[in-house]
Amino acid sequence: MSDAAEKSVENLGYHAHIYYDPAKTRSVAERVCAAVGDKFRVEIDGFRDGPVGPHPIANVLVIFKPAEFERVVSYLMLNREGLDVLVHPLTEDAVKDHSSFAIWLGNPIPLRLNTLPRGRGGRLPSGVTP
Domain count, the chain: 1
Closest CA to 94 of 12, 5, 8: 12
Instruction: Say if 30 falls within a structural domain.
Output: yes
User: Which domain CATH number covers 25?
Assistant: 3.30.70.1240
Mean pLDDT, all residues of the chain: 93
Structural domain includes residue 85: yes
pLDDT in the model for residue 129: 83
In the prediction, which pLDDT does 10 show?
87
Which regions in the chain score pLDDT beneath 50? 1-2
Sign of dihedral through CA atoms 14, 51, 120, 99? Answer: positive
